[in-house]
Structure 1
Amino acid sequence: MKQQRSNFTLTELLAVIAIIAILAGLLIPAINGARVRAKTAACLSNQKQVTAFINAYMNEENQYFMSAGAGSIWHTWGYPLHRRNLVQDVKVLRCPAIVNYSSTSYQPDDFDTEVAETYGAVYNDAGFDFRGTKYLYDSNNKQISPTQLVLGACAVDSDKKPVHLLNLSNTAANGKPFQIHGNFCNIFFLDGHSESLQEADLQKKFYPNQTGTGATRIAAEFLTE
């Protein structure tokens, strides 16, 4: 009687390994893509909450937006939101896809310091007064919809460290929109909505002029990972 073989041959083992490698090669990109989509969705959810907080603050301040400043944390746009009890958890003010926050050096309840590393906002040390329509016209006196006027985005400096500033001109490296969600960056607008935009689409939008007069077309390029 012929004895039944119970072990694998080398050829069979190599074939199994090859099949596993092929399946892994097919699954890993899908898993990574799912992770990117999940973080993008979480980021958009955060930005939706952020814009709600900003709108609540602006309603209390006669359409004034604190924005951000290049100086101390007292000038960050997240600070007045916290002081008004509009937001308590700093994580809501941050993109979950950007991992190199340095908040580990802060005390757990040191919110005032942590707001220095949040979503980048278009900045003006004096803030922006949105009463009337001066920010809804460009230099050619063309009317701009609030859906086109950017207030903030996922932003980092030249070292890829998150910052509360957002520079949307074609100058300076600090506070640039960060291509962190695949080929996209999440952006929030004056009317309260957020979008995932590619660089070419972002450059069709506008931002409030830092001099306090009108709006300027965005010329910034994305910083990439």
Structure 2
Amino acid sequence: MIEIRNLSKIYGSGETTVYALRDVELQIKTGEYCSIMGASGSGKSTLMNIIGCLDQPTKGDYFLNNENVSTLSDRQLALIRNQNIGFVFQQFHLLPQLSALENVILPMIYGNVSPQERRARAVAALTKVGLANRLHNRPNQLSGGQQQRVAIARAIVNEPLLLLADEPTGALDSKTTHEILDLFSELQSTGMGVVMVTHENDVAAQTNRIIWLKDGEVTYAHLTPEEMRDVTMAQTF
């Protein structure tokens, strides 16, 4: 599903040149559940933004579902984001004046989906994340975990190939974190790919594969949770 070839992201020039990513080579298969880890400044967010078509590389190629998206226009990238990629963030980014149902409907407005189908799909997505009884609640009437479930429903309502989660449990307690991670596992079991940026070892350990970045480079592309613990300890000393 994802193939990244010799990809770099460079800011500045001359003496002020900064490599946010340097010659990254990476493949992620369809339906894979993996996490991206690394210290602050390692390039995690930059890589996530490029995978999510929110940014473009300075050089190199990024293929999503066999299409080289690194060469597309902003308009074409926006269409790919709407149809193929769902986003979940640490902060839920729900519109406070809208109900859960209305928040989930929003992405479909830009996708030319009929009003009747929008509502049916939004209800189905909220039911899938366990919020069938909270359709008409606004964000301030929901717990943090429930708000994140609304955000996940919004991310999956267009049935994307890929769900990108950037520190999705950072604002949640441990019990709610486990519930959200279980939900990601359920979504992945249906064939949806899940790629998650996290700095939490316990969170990354719930995924099937860990990608480790250091100074903009992929130092480990296929860590198991057990191997990740050894790398984490080595980075500490």
If the length of structure 2 is used for normalisation, what is the TM-score? 0.29
Larger radius of gyration: 1
Q: Which has the higher helix share?
A: 2
Q: Which has the higher strand share?
A: 2
